[in-house]
Amino acid sequence: MWCAAICIRFAPPPNPLPTLWEKGSQKGNLNRLPHPILPPSPTAWGKGIGGRGLMLLSVEDLHVHFPLGHGQVVRAVDGVTFAIERGETLGLVGESGCGKSTTGRAILRLIPPTSGRVVFEGQEISGVSPSDMRTLRRRMQMVFQDPFASLSPRMTVGQIVAEPLEIHRLHANRRGREERVGALLESVGLPQAAVRRFAHEFSGGQRQRIGIARALALDPDLIILDEPVSALDISVRAQVVNLLQDIQERSGIAYLFIGHDLSLIRHVAHRVAVMYLGRIVEIAPAHDLYTDPRHPYTRSLLAAVPVPDPARRRERAPLEGDPPSPIDIPSGCRFRTRCPFAQEICARDDPPLLPIEVTGGGAAARPSHRAACHFANTLPVWDASKAADTVIKP
């Protein structure tokens, strides 16, 4: 089955947020959906994390479980909470199988969530009807990981990009749709002549640009990017990432950028959430997380980033072993079976995601930096220069 069209936009470079454009008045009658408008819960940590408090998406205690029979359940997502502000990029990182992609698909209801709340601009969407969800998808889109599998081989590029316009009945006349498709292709760096060609006639990077153009067709406020450049070579990755940042700067769109390349996430994200075995174990502004990680798993991920210099090597060995099965999650802290700092309390108590203390500042001094570790405030100081590399002596 070919993936349905879903619109997407990307976030700016990691530091100041771009100027945001108020687009709510341009989005039709979403505010008239027959469901209550709910205030975002403070547990989502949305207001104040990016410094602006312009909440766009709030995910609260999201669970996605898959029953296997015989009493076994795969807990793919097991209590995820975060928020995204307008114009912000939140990076979601972790090992393969930790639940990153499932989280993104559950937000868009491509996979039905087991429990939890998803609030978009104050609108609870977890239980909306399929017809109302279709209306909401005009403002929430997705770019898929595989740029070839997500594009139908039976449709021309023009038909692929025009499909969301036809589904949502925008640009009723053919001429208007053709002009819109041409403008979208031009915005992602493709010639208008591409409308008559098929997806297999393009390179991987060009196919991903087609997917981005399709996601932009409905002018969404949020785009979920599911490892959008992992299947591309390095030079093409840079082009696609720069394109996404340019689009975000022009339109003020927000991104949930899912990936496993920590160097890339550092470049594109304002904040980063680290996921392990279905749950977020650390979330912080990008600069804080990369310079002062407070969860042992985050430190292990950063220690595993390769050094692009044959004369240097890592001082610390990357994390060993595989994560436990999501069918049989360990008691207490789910990372304890691989953690070098694990103690008895880790097997007994599941640590909550709490703010990091600052010496002399109190427990709430850094509410934007949270870690789910009993020893987050007492771990040895992270020396980024030492952890990065050590010169090999001849």
Q: Encode 91-156 in three state secondary structure.
A: EEECCCCCCHHHHHHHHCCCCCCCEEEEEECCEECCCCCHHHHHHHCCCEEEECCCCCCCCCCCCE
Averaged pLDDT for residues 126-145: 88
- pLDDT confidence band for 53 (50 / 70 / 90): low
| The model's pTM | 0.81
Residues facing residue 80 across a β-bridge: 62
Percent of the chain with pLDDT over 70: 79
- pLDDT confidence band for 385 (50 / 70 / 90): low
Contacts (Cβ under 8 Å, ≥6 apart) of 136:
30, 33, 120, 123, 125, 128
The CATH class for the domain spanning 24-276 reads alpha beta
Averaged pLDDT for residues 69-82: 93
Nearest to 273 by CA among 22, 103, 39: 103
Q: What is the pLDDT of residue 283?
A: 97
pLDDT over threshold 60, residue 240:
yes
- pLDDT confidence band for 289 (50 / 70 / 90): very high
pLDDT over threshold 70, residue 4:
no
Inter-residue contact 186 to 209 (CB < 8 Å): no
Domain boundaries, the chain: 24-276, 294-391
Paired tokens of 82: 């975060």
